[in-house]
Structures are given as structure tokens and as C-alpha cells.
């Protein structure tokens, strides 16, 4: 379904929902949908994402507004608000190795309930967890993961919901699109049906329930490093 606005795209998201949010750092995040969630004001959210943005952008905006109750992520080092809320007991956190997080999401989207991985074996992460030995090596059982809603960002999409990502924005977005019970895609360019080359479609429309064109994009850079020019 093509949505005319961000609020229309987010309809039905309520307090306590579990939401996957695409992106890596600030690359490929559905920034307009995140802003829409802030305006919607829903609370007690469980959010699954690679990280939690920075203090004044991305998911950091929802943290600052006290809308996230539980965060499942692989990296949290760029957000002091995150640290403060965790240490004060306001925020529940589940840290997952990045590869394991990606595979849990992919497995959920593929209908695979669980899998074994060597990541986490012999660490506090694996304490009290089920393990199994394959060919002399110990592996830890991990569960596949799904969400009530998946919010993803694509470069282009058509009226059916076929999506095409651009460069590094093709990070967690494709696998999350498959793992959401309701997947909401925001796109920079909304094309006519048939305009996308089939071989270049990264997420088929069968995974996408709603699509909306973002009104604007800031595309902030998380860290900018500038090399000094060589002396002549």
C-alpha cells in the first residue's frame, strides 16, 4: 500500500510494540519514520537495531524522549543518553554479537526458529544457555527473531513495494524487511510499477506492506575524519 504521509505509514503502532529499525550507524536509517515515531509518542517499545544512533539523531531521539524500554543491539558506544538510562535502570539492554544479530533476523525472516553459532561460547553471553558439539567444536543455540513492525529505508521503491538499496545502506535493511510482520519502507524515490529492473530488486514486494516517500533527508555523518593534505 502506498501511504500519503509518514503518520499514515505508522498507523497501528502502539505502546509496547517490538520494532526492527534498519541502518548501520546513521547509514540507511529510516530517519523520517523515526521522526514520525517521536511525534506519535508511543512508549515502552522494544527496538531491534544494530545500534541506537547518536544523542540527537536516529534512534537517539526516541531514547531522549523515553520511548524505548528495551534495546536489542550489537553496538551502543556512541550515545551517552543510552549509557545513562542503562545505568539508572530505565533501559533494558540485550547485547548481541553483530553477526549473530544479523543471522537471528535473517533466520526469523526465513522461518528458521533457531540455529547454532560459535559466537559467545565460553563467555558470559553463553552462561546457562543450550550448547551442542559439532565435529568437536562447541556451538551456542540462538533463536530466530521477528518483530511486530520493521521500519526500513530504501533508495528506490515502486508502487508494489519492491525495494532497491544504495551502496552501504544495504546493511540490515533487507533482512529486517523479511522479518517484520508488518514492514514499512520509506524511500527517497517512488517509481512507477515496472520501472525497477527485476534483477536489481533487493527486497521483493511480497515482504513489504506499506511504502512511503520520505519528504526530506539530512543523511548525517556519524563521524567525519578529514585527512590533512600532503605538503608540496
Instruction: Please choose, from the candidates 116, 173, 123, 165, the residue with its C-alpha nearest in 3D space to the C-alpha of residue 143.
Output: 116
Task: Tell me the mean pLDDT in the region 133-156.
Answer: 97
Please check whether residue 230 lies inside any domain of the structure.
no
Please check whether residue 232 lies inside any domain of the structure.
no
- Strand (E) or helix (H) holding 81: helix 80-88
What pLDDT does 232 receive? 54
- For 216, list phi and psi in degrees, rounded to 5: -165, 160
Please check whether residue 82 lies inside any domain of the structure.
yes
Q: Is the pLDDT of residue 59 over 80?
A: yes
Please check whether residue 218 lies inside any domain of the structure.
no
Alpha-carbon distance values, 134 to 117, 127, 140, 143 (Å):
10, 19, 11, 18
Tens-place pLDDT, residues 14-30: 999 999 999 998 899 99
Among the residue ranges 82-86, 133-137, 144-148, the one predicted with the least confidence is: 82-86
Please check whether residue 26 lies inside any domain of the structure.
yes
Q: For residue 8, what are the contacts with CB-CB under 8 A and spacing of at least 6?
A: 212
Q: Is the pLDDT of residue 6 over 80?
A: yes
Please check whether residue 1 lies inside any domain of the structure.
no
Q: For residue 32, what are the contacts with CB-CB under 8 A and spacing of at least 6?
A: 6, 186, 212, 214, 215, 216, 217
pTM, to two decimals: 0.91
Q: Please count the structural domains in the chain.
A: 1
Q: Is the pLDDT of residue 169 over 80?
A: yes
| Domain at 93, CATH number | 3.40.1080.10
- Domain span at residue 17? 6-213
Mean pLDDT across the chain, nearest whole number? 93
The C-alpha cell at 203 is: 527486497
Tens-place pLDDT, residues 188-217: 999 999 999 999 999 999 999 999 999 888
What per-residue string of b and e applies to 80-94 under the rule 16 or more CB within 10 Å gives b?
A: ebbeebeeeeebeee
CA-based Rg of the chain, rounded to a whole angstrom? 19
Please check whether residue 231 lies inside any domain of the structure.
no
Task: Tell me the mean pLDDT in the region 178-184.
Answer: 97
| Percent of the chain whose pLDDT exceeds 90 | 79
Please check whether residue 223 lies inside any domain of the structure.
no
Amino acid at each position: 500500500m502506498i501511504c500519503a504521509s509518514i503518520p499514515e505509514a505508522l498507523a497501528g503502532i502502539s505502546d509496547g510494540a517490538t520494532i526492527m529499525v534498519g541502518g548501520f550507524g546513521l547509514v540507511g536509517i529510516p530517519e523520517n519514520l523515526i521522526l514520525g515515531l517521536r511525534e506519535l509518542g508511543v512508549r515502552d517499545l522494544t527496538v531491534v537495531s544494530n545500534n541506537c544512533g547518536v544523542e540527537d539523531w536516529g534512534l537517539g531521539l526516541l531514547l531522549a524522549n523515553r520511548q524505548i524500554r528495551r534495546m536489542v543491539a550489537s553496538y551502543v558506544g556512541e550515545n551517552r543518553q543510552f549509557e545513562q538510562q542503562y545505568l539508572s535502570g530505565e533501559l533494558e539492554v540485550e547485547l548481541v554479537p553483530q553477526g549473530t544479530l544479523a543471522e537471528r533476523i535473517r533466520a526469523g525472516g526465513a522461518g528458521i526458529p533457531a540455529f547454532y553459532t560459535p559466537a559467545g561460547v565460553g563467555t558470559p553471553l553463553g552462561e546457562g544457555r543450550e550448547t551442542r558439539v559439532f565435529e568437536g567444536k562447541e556451538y551456542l543455540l540462538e533463536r530466530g527473531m521477528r518483530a511486530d513492525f520493521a521500519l526500513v529505508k530504501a533508495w528506490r521503491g515502486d508502487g508494489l513495494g519492491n525495494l532497491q538499496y544504495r551502496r552501504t545502506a544495504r546493511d540490515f535493511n533487507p533482512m529486517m524487511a523479511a522479518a517484520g510482520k508488518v514492514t514499512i519502507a520509506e524511500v527517497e524515490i517512488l517509481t512507477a510499477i515496472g520501472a525497477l529492473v527485476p534483477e536489481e530488486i533487493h527486497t521483493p514486494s511480497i515482504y513489504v506492506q506499506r511504502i512511503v516517500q520520505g519528504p526530506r533527508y539530512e543523511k548525517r555523518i556519524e563521524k567525519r575524519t578529514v585527512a590533512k593534505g600532503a605538503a608540496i
